[in-house]
Amino acid sequence: MTTISAGPLNPGGPVLLVGAGKLGGALLDGWLEGGLDPRLAYVLDPGLSEPAAERLSALGVTLQPQAPELSNAAAIVVAVKPQMAASVLPAVASYAGPSSVVISVMAGQTLEVIGAALPQGGAIVRAMPNTPASVGRGITGCFAGPEVSATQKALVDRLLSAVGDVIWVDDEGLIDAVTGVSGSGPAYVFLLVEALAKAGIAAGLPADIAETLARRTVEGAGELLARSPEPPATLRRNVTSPNGTTAAALDVLMAENGLEPLMERAVAAATKRAKELARPG
Ligand SMILES: NC(=O)C1=CN([C@@H]2O[C@H](COP(=O)(O)OP(=O)(O)OC[C@H]3O[C@@H](n4cnc5c(N)ncnc54)[C@H](OP(=O)(O)O)[C@@H]3O)[C@@H](O)[C@H]2O)C=CC1
Ligand SMILES: O=C(O)[C@@H]1CCC=N1
C-alpha cells in the first residue's frame, strides 16, 4: 500500500469524463479547481443539465465530443451507475487509443466485467474516490489491472492526487471494502451530523441552533483531525474528562452494542452490496 499526497495536475493529454453526476461532477470540479487546463477536459453525459452544460462550456470544457474529435484520450473516467456499465462501455471504447487508460469509479464492477465490455480490453484501473474530491479533500483507493503501464499508473495517480490522497491496493477484492469505508463513508459522517442535530433537538435545543452546533462540531473535529498528528483515539481522550459528560456519552456509544459493531455491520453491508453490483441484473 502506498499513500501519495496531492500535487499539481498535468494529465499530459485529454481526459474524458463519462458521466458527470454527483461523483463525476465532483471529480471534474476538483480537477478544474486543481488547475486542469479545461481544454484537456471532455465530458460525455447526455443527461447534463442546461446550467451545468453552460457553466462547463463557459469554462472551456468540451461537451459531448464525437469519437473522431477525441480518439486517443489519455484517460477515460467512467462515472456512470454500475448498472449502466454494459451499455456505456462499448461506446467508451471508441474514445480509447493504444495509450489510453480507462479509470472506472463504478462500485462493484470488476476488471473482468469491465474488460469484457471493452472490445479492445486494455489498461483499466478500478478507483474508488469520494465526494470530498470536489473540495480537494478526497481519498481514493485504486487497483491497477495487469495491462496498466507504469506511465499510465502515474497518470492515474496525478489525476486522482489532484483531488485528494491516493492509496493503491494490490488486491482487487479490497476495492469493495474501500468502497464500504471511504467511498460511502462521507454519507455516514453526514448522517452523524443529522443524528447529532436531532439528538440536540430532543435535548431541548431549537432546531437551528442544534443543526449549527452539530455541523460545526463535525467540521471542527474533521479539521482538528486533519491538522493534528495525534491518532483519533487520543483526540477523543482529550475531550473526555474523567467521570465527566463525554465519558457518560461514550459509555453509550462504546457499549457492547454501540457504534463499533454498528459501523462494522454498516461497512460489511456496503462491501457485500459492492460485490453484488458486480453481478449483472
Ligand atoms: N456518489 C458517490 O459518492 C460515489 C459514487 N461512485 C460511483 O460513481 C458512479 C456514479 O455515481 P453517482 O455520481 O452517484 O451517480 P449519478 O447518477 O449522479 O451520475 C451518473 C451520471 O451518468 C449519467 N449518464 C447516464 N447514462 C449515461 C451515458 N450513457 N453516458 C454518459 N453519462 C451517462 C447520468 O445522467 P442521468 O442522471 O441523466 O441518468 C448521471 O449524470 C457510480 O458507479 C458509483 O458507484 C463512487 C464513489 C463515490
Ligand atoms: O452508493 C454507492 O453505491 C456509491 C458508491 C460509493 C458511494 N456511492
Ligand 2 test: best mutation among 179, 190, 271, 273, most atoms within 8 Å of CB?
179
Is the pLDDT at 2 greater than 50? The verdict is: no
Q: What is the pLDDT of residues 187-207, one digit of tens each?
A: 999 999 999 999 999 999 999
What percent of the chain lies above the pLDDT cut of 90? 79
CA of 130 to the centre of ligand 2 (A): 9
**Does domain 185-277 match CATH 1.10.3730.10?**
yes
DSSP secondary structure string for all residues of 84-130: GHHHHHHHHGGG--TT-EEEE--SS--HHHHHHHSTT---EEEEE--
Structural domain spans, the chain: 2-178, 185-277
| Ligand that comes closest to the CA of residue 26 | 1
Q: For residue 80, report the distance from its CA to the centre of ligand 1, in Å.
A: 4
pTM above 0.80, yes or no: yes
80 is in an annotated binding site: yes
Report CA(116)–ligand 1 centroid distance (Å). 20
For residue 149, the CA-to-ligand 2 centroid distance in Å is 28
- We find that the CATH architecture of domain 2-178 is 3-Layer(aba) Sandwich (3.40)
Q: What would the pLDDT profile of 77-98 be if each residue is shown by its tens digit?
A: 999 999 999 889 988 888 988 8
Residues 97-118 have pLDDT tens digits of 888 999 999 999 999 999 988 8
What CA–CA distance (Å, rounded) separates 217 from 239?
12
What residues line ligand 1, using a CB cutoff of 6 Å?
18-24, 44-47, 79-82, 84, 88, 105-107, 128-131, 183
Per-residue model confidence (pLDDT) at position 280:
62
Cβ contact 110:86 at 8 Å: no
Question: Whose atoms come closest to the Cα of 270: which ligand?
Answer: 2
Check the annotation: does 199 bind a ligand: no
Is the model's pLDDT at 40 over the cut of 60?
Answer: yes
Query: In the sheet that 138-144 helps form, which strands lie side by side, from edge to edge?
Result: 2-4, 164-168, 138-144, 124-128, 101-104, 75-78, 15-18, 41-44, 62-63
